[in-house]
Amino acid sequence: MATQVTVKRLSDHTFSDAALADVGRLAGEPGVVWVDVVEPDAATMASLTAQLDLPELAVEGSLEVETRAKLDSYPNLIYFAWIVPVPDEPELPLRSLDFIDVSFFMTRNAVVTTRPGPVRAIDDLIRGKLDVSSAQPAWLVHAILDRTTDDLLDTVDTGSEKLDELENAVVEKADQSQIQALYAIKRQLLGLRRVVQGERDVIRELTRSEAWVSKDAYMYYQDVADHLARIADEVDTYFDVATGIMDIYLSAQNNRMNEIMKQLTVVATIFMPLTLLSGIYGMNLIPGMWPRPIVDVWGFAAVVGFMLLVAAAMATYFRRKKWW
């Protein structure tokens, strides 16, 4: 995918198109200039660095794949990475999530976002489907964070419904595909928990500085933090639910195995006396082992007695071992 650059100027709740070469000039005027870069390359970031004085370390971070939300504060701007989970399978959204990292550069009059692919909140903002409360960088950033958090909340809520359906299916009759789905959900929930924890830290750091987030915007950022806290609680709950479903499945499998063993034991018990009788009456007492009179009179009784002695010794040993 080739690099795509969108430059917008926000003034009086209205977006207007602008050119990349004018970003530096627009950043010095009233309003907010917003630059969105999809698949950022070195040349585009070099141009933005020259015009907005972006820190080299932060630019390097925006060109790398981030797996955890983080925030770095600089004298002239704030840089933070925000992870956006996007479901690949609408049928079971918690089974497969694609984690897209979005980098934010927020200066006094400019916002730069970089991302490797489509993000619904940013795309809606470009198309004019998302409103910004005020022509300030913090409010533009809030519009994106709020929408991505709401989308994630919807994903988690939808995933919980699918998880309930999966639980009912496992209870009725589990198959291997359902168990594989459960393992995938648990793995994704662990990753989602790590992402949400990092994003809560980012919001906490943002709201600590009134220089970047005004008092008016503070409550709105706090609302995003509350939604993240709710998501974190739900993720923990659904992880426990998934674990419980796995326990139900394993318990059902053990019960099924016990039933099978019970049936096999009944079959074996039925054939035991038949085997005993056929074994006893199928024995051959070889002539010459003992004198002829002993064979005729006591041979059969001696063998049966020895068998009983062995059985009694084994039963005594099992009893001492408390095996029965």
Answer with the residue of higher pLDDT: 162 or 194: 194
* Residue where the block lists tokens 């989602």: 192
pLDDT per residue as tens digits for the range 217-261: 889 999 999 999 999 998 898 888 888 888 888 887 788 888 888
pLDDT per residue as tens digits for the range 13-58: 788 888 999 889 988 888 899 999 999 988 999 999 999 999 988 8
Domain count, the chain: 2
175 in any annotated domain: yes
Last residue of a domain, one of 206, 230, 253: 253
Tell whether 161 and 299 lie within a shared domain: no
Tell whether 165 and 232 lie within a shared domain: yes
Tell whether 163 and 303 lie within a shared domain: no
169: left (phi over 0), alpha (psi -120 to 50) or beta: alpha
Tell whether 23 and 159 lie within a shared domain: yes
Q: What CA–CA distance (Å, rounded) separates 116 from 126?
A: 16
Tell whether 246 and 315 lie within a shared domain: no
Q: Which domain holds residue 223?
A: 4-253
* 83 within 8 A of 100, measured Cβ to Cβ: yes
Kindly report the length of the chain.
324
Tell whether 136 and 210 lie within a shared domain: yes
pLDDT category of residue 289 using cuts at 50, 70 and 90 = low
pTM reported for the whole predicted model: 0.77
Last residue of a domain, one of 253, 268, 294: 253
Q: What CA–CA distance (Å, rounded) separates 244 from 85?
A: 25
Tell whether 249 and 315 lie within a shared domain: no
pLDDT category of residue 82 using cuts at 50, 70 and 90 = very high
- Which CATH number fits the domain that encloses residue 31? 3.30.460.20
Q: What is the pLDDT of residue 209?
A: 78
